[in-house]
A and B are shown apart, each in its own frame.
Chain A
Amino acid sequence: MIEVIEGGLHTTVQDLGRYGYQRYGVPVSGAMDSHSLRLANLLIGNPEDAAGLEITLVGPKLKFLADTAVVLGGADLRPRVDGQPFQMWRIVKIKAGSLLTFDGPQAGMRCYLAVPGGVDVPVVMGSRSTYTRSAIGGYKGRILKPGDRLSALQGPGPLSRGCKLPQALMPAFGHLHLLRVIMGPQEDAFTPQGIASFLSSTYTVSRQSDRVGIRLEGEGIQHVKSGDIISDGAPFGAVQVPGSGQPVVLMADRGTTGGYTKIAAIITTDIGKLAQALPGDKVSFKAVTLNEAQALLAEREELVLEFKRHVEGIKAGGVSRVTIAVEGAALLVTDDSGTPLTETERFPIGHAGLKRSMTVRAGGQAYTFEVEVHRQD
């Protein structure tokens, strides 16, 4: 159980979004940087779509009423438990009575708090995400306020052993963002000069940005005729350009439809970067093909899947990743956290091509595999 002492700037319950209701005009919502929420969930042992807290810029002050474990992922808002700083992207055990606070942004602006089982709020239209404008989902449909009490769903409990997030999946935070886009669907509403402005200039993230849209300021983007179209569907990451020529990128709480021209859409793997961009950050755009974008997404999803299998292995009490290193004349076998799994074995190091069968014991189970040693000269 968590008691909210201070709500922070804009703290809401979010999961991966509300799908299937856009035809009724219900926005998808969900985490702005869904990649970070997914990873925070996996790190604590949750399904990736469990609900967590989205914490924006100025963090809340949260009091834990029971012992629990948490993972904080996404932007580093410099968290502290009872005044002690702690690391992002790892399991942190918190004692009953402890206070979680945030000093402020180090890099990025949206931090995700995952608790074992996920935050327990009612499922509305298939999701626990908060859409504050219509007070749908989340905690009473609104941002968190002092006195609110949150509990977690009964889940499998946190992972018994922590695991590290692979470097390749770790989101990078900076203040210059190159966002790759797929041009269209209304590319033909812009002059060649307008398209050149979009792809060659640098835009600044405006303060007038929120969960609905990120407004960008910079060189105007010229239309052939006007910035208006017959309203149509509005996807996450679409770069909308109204008559003013200043782009607005549609984000999680966007309306389901819109009446402005869309010059391009940011590729899924890059949307998180923009979701984490602070006002004043600079962004620029680079066009890629649909095939390139989907290949990048497939590559990332493959890494997520591999990480999920790794976590599943730890949950099952087994070992999903073993590192074998030659140290002098000894063979050192460790699990992902660096803990030795078996006694080091000695063998003649000069004996290249040696094949050995070895057995590793972990979590009450035995695994046998073949090792072949090659010389590296």
Chain B
Amino acid sequence: MFPSPRYIPAGDSALVVELGNSISPHVNRMVHNLARAVEKEAVNGVVDLTPSYRSLLVYYNPSVIAASDLQKKLHALHGSLLEGAARGKARVVRVPTLYGGDMGPDLEVVAKHNSLSTDEVIQIHSSADYLVYMLGFSPGYPYLGGMSERIATPRLKTPRTAVPAGSVALAEKQTGVYPTETPGGWQILGRTPLKFFDASRDKPSLVEPGDYIRFVAIDAGEYARVKKQVDEGTYQVKIEAKD
């Protein structure tokens, strides 16, 4: 983490606030806390925010707020966060996942590559809380951190032309969920019936940057029950507070 944030213009209507130069849960937590504080403060002239691994991009209207005033405001907010004022508890979103079979065609590949049984792969994959560092690439796509290297596996040699929405997959030391059907070269372990992205929802994305995800192994019967509830709009996503 930098001792003090770096403020760098990104054009005439956006300001980058860099809080560090590494991928770390600590730096990322500060990014999300700052984003929440800017939102809570409702700083006049701020039009949008993009939190990412180690920085916050603040889009502003220069005819409403001067860059120097914006920087002062952000600096003050950052200072008050260091005093611990606006620290919120992180959420853990539980993501029911049916591993293997048709839903997870690459589970055995991952097991073989790491000389593990498929049950061990599932056990390792579903026992960590993965931090959502940021959302990007495509709507609702979470950049997750914290996967065990014991199940790390290279990408497919030839990417699939269409990976179904909800696919839970990994590549190298990363894991993630495909929110919408897209081409992709990650090893698919399973599928969740939850909709990671739905444009018709108030909050279109299931998870927000700063949340944690915990994959929970379910069987085919449970998958069908959850899917039905999701389709009917009655499913309550299980969320816990992070210790």
Q: A residues touching B (Cβ–Cβ < 8 Å)?
A: 19-28, 124-125, 133-134, 136-137, 182, 184-185, 230-238, 255-258, 262, 265-268, 290, 293-294, 297-298, 301
**Which chain B residues lie closer than 8 Å to A268 at the CB level?**
11-13
**Which chain A residues lie closer than 8 Å to B139 at the CB level?**
21, 24-27, 134, 136
Interface centre among B9, B10, B11 (most CB of A within 10 A): B11
Are A25 and B141 in contact, with the CB atoms below 8 A?
A: yes
A23-B35 contact in complex given A232-B54, A294-B62, C-beta closer than 8 Å = yes
Are B199 and A255 in contact, with the CB atoms below 8 A?
A: no
In the complex formed, the residue of A with least CB distance to B53 is A230
In the complex formed, the residue of A with least CB distance to B13 is A268
Contact check: which of A21, A137, A184, A297 meets B9 at CB < 8 Å?
Answer: A184
In the complex formed, the residue of B with least CB distance to A236 is B11
Are B135 and A256 in contact, with the CB atoms below 8 A?
A: yes
Please report the C-alpha to C-alpha distance between residue A214 and residue B240 in the assembled complex, in whole angstroms. 44
In the complex formed, the residue of B with least CB distance to A264 is B11
Are A266 and B35 in contact, with the CB atoms below 8 A?
A: no
Residue-wise interface mask of B (5-31) relative to A, using a CB-CB cutoff of 8 A (1 in contact, 0 not): 000111111101000011100000000
Are B50 and A23 in contact, with the CB atoms below 8 A?
A: yes
Contact check: which of B14, B55, B208 meets A235 at CB < 8 Å?
Answer: B14
In the complex formed, the residue of A with least CB distance to B179 is A25
B223 within 8 A of A: no
Please report the C-alpha to C-alpha distance between residue A79 and residue B225 in the assembled complex, in whole angstroms. 56
Are B12 and A294 in contact, with the CB atoms below 8 A?
A: yes
| A-B CB proximity, top 4 nearest | A233-B57, A265-B11, A257-B136, A233-B50
Please report the C-alpha to C-alpha distance between residue A184 and residue B55 in the assembled complex, in whole angstroms. 14
A23-B209 contact in complex given A125-B204, A134-B138, A136-B199, C-beta closer than 8 Å = yes
Contact check: which of A23, A184, A266 meets B208 at CB < 8 Å?
Answer: A23
Q: List 17 A-B contacts (CB under 8 A).
A: A23-B35, A23-B51, A24-B139, A24-B197, A25-B140, A25-B141, A125-B199, A134-B180, A232-B50, A233-B52, A235-B59, A238-B10, A257-B50, A265-B12, A268-B12, A294-B12, A298-B63
A24-B204 contact in complex given A233-B14, A262-B10, C-beta closer than 8 Å = yes
B48 within 8 A of A: yes
B118 within 8 A of A: no
Are A256 and B50 in contact, with the CB atoms below 8 A?
A: yes
Nearest Cβ on chain B to A83's Cβ, whole angstroms: 41
Name 13 extra pairs, CB < 8 A, besides A22-B59, A24-B135, A26-B140: A21-B139, A24-B139, A24-B208, A185-B16, A230-B21, A231-B136, A232-B54, A256-B136, A257-B50, A293-B11, A293-B12, A294-B12, A297-B12
A255-B137 contact in complex given A24-B204, A182-B11, A233-B52, C-beta closer than 8 Å = yes
The B interface, classified by DSSP as helix, strand, loop or mixed, is loop
**Which chain A residues lie closer than 8 Å to B157 at the CB level?**
none
Contact check: which of A25, A182, A237 meets B135 at CB < 8 Å?
Answer: A25
Interface centre among A25, A133, A234, A238 (most CB of B within 10 A): A25
Please report the C-alpha to C-alpha distance between residue A185 and residue B12 in the assembled complex, in whole angstroms. 12
B49 within 8 A of A: yes
Contact check: which of B12, B48, B137, B140 meets A257 at CB < 8 Å?
Answer: B137
How many residues on chain B are close to A (CB under 8 Å)? 45
Are B11 and A267 in contact, with the CB atoms below 8 A?
A: yes
Are B204 and A26 in contact, with the CB atoms below 8 A?
A: yes
Contact check: which of A22, A137, A230 meets B23 at CB < 8 Å?
Answer: A230
Please report the C-alpha to C-alpha distance between residue A21 and residue B202 in the assembled complex, in whole angstroms. 11
Q: B residues touching A (Cβ–Cβ < 8 Å)?
A: 8-14, 16, 21-23, 35, 47-57, 59, 62-63, 67, 134-141, 143, 180, 197, 199-200, 203-205, 208-209
Nearest Cβ on chain B to A86's Cβ, whole angstroms: 35
Please report the C-alpha to C-alpha distance between residue A68 and residue B115 in the assembled complex, in whole angstroms. 70
Please report the C-alpha to C-alpha distance between residue A298 and residue B66 in the assembled complex, in whole angstroms. 11
A301-B49 contact in complex given A232-B16, A267-B12, A268-B11, C-beta closer than 8 Å = no
**Which chain B residues lie closer than 8 Å to A290 at the CB level?**
9, 12, 67
Please report the C-alpha to C-alpha distance between residue A231 and residue B28 in the assembled complex, in whole angstroms. 12
Please report the C-alpha to C-alpha distance between residue A179 and residue B238 in the assembled complex, in whole angstroms. 50
Please report the C-alpha to C-alpha distance between residue A182 and residue B35 in the assembled complex, in whole angstroms. 24
Contact check: which of B14, B22, B204 meets A21 at CB < 8 Å?
Answer: B204
Contact check: which of A133, A137, A232 meets B55 at CB < 8 Å?
Answer: A232
**Which chain B residues lie closer than 8 Å to A301 at the CB level?**
63
Are A185 and B205 in contact, with the CB atoms below 8 A?
A: no
**Which chain A residues lie closer than 8 Å to B12 at the CB level?**
182, 265, 267-268, 290, 293-294, 297
A24-B49 contact in complex given A256-B136, A290-B67, C-beta closer than 8 Å = no
**Which chain A residues lie closer than 8 Å to B21 at the CB level?**
230
Please report the C-alpha to C-alpha distance between residue A256 and residue B49 in the assembled complex, in whole angstroms. 10
Nearest Cβ on chain A to B51's Cβ, whole angstroms: 6
**Which chain A residues lie closer than 8 Å to B11 at the CB level?**
182, 235-238, 265-268, 293
Please report the C-alpha to C-alpha distance between residue A78 and residue B80 in the assembled complex, in whole angstroms. 58
In the complex formed, the residue of B with least CB distance to A181 is B11
Interface centre among B48, B67, B137, B143 (most CB of A within 10 A): B48
Contact check: which of B23, B56, B62, B138 meets A133 at CB < 8 Å?
Answer: B138
Are A182 and B9 in contact, with the CB atoms below 8 A?
A: yes
In the complex formed, the residue of B with least CB distance to A270 is B12
In the complex formed, the residue of B with least CB distance to A233 is B57
In the complex formed, the residue of B with least CB distance to A294 is B62
**Which chain A residues lie closer than 8 Å to B13 at the CB level?**
235, 268, 297
Interface centre among A20, A233, A265 (most CB of B within 10 A): A233
Please report the C-alpha to C-alpha distance between residue A297 and residue B60 in the assembled complex, in whole angstroms. 13
Contact check: which of A256, A293, A297 meets B63 at CB < 8 Å?
Answer: A297
Please report the C-alpha to C-alpha distance between residue A297 and residue B67 in the assembled complex, in whole angstroms. 13
Contact check: which of A184, A230, A237 meets B54 at CB < 8 Å?
Answer: A230
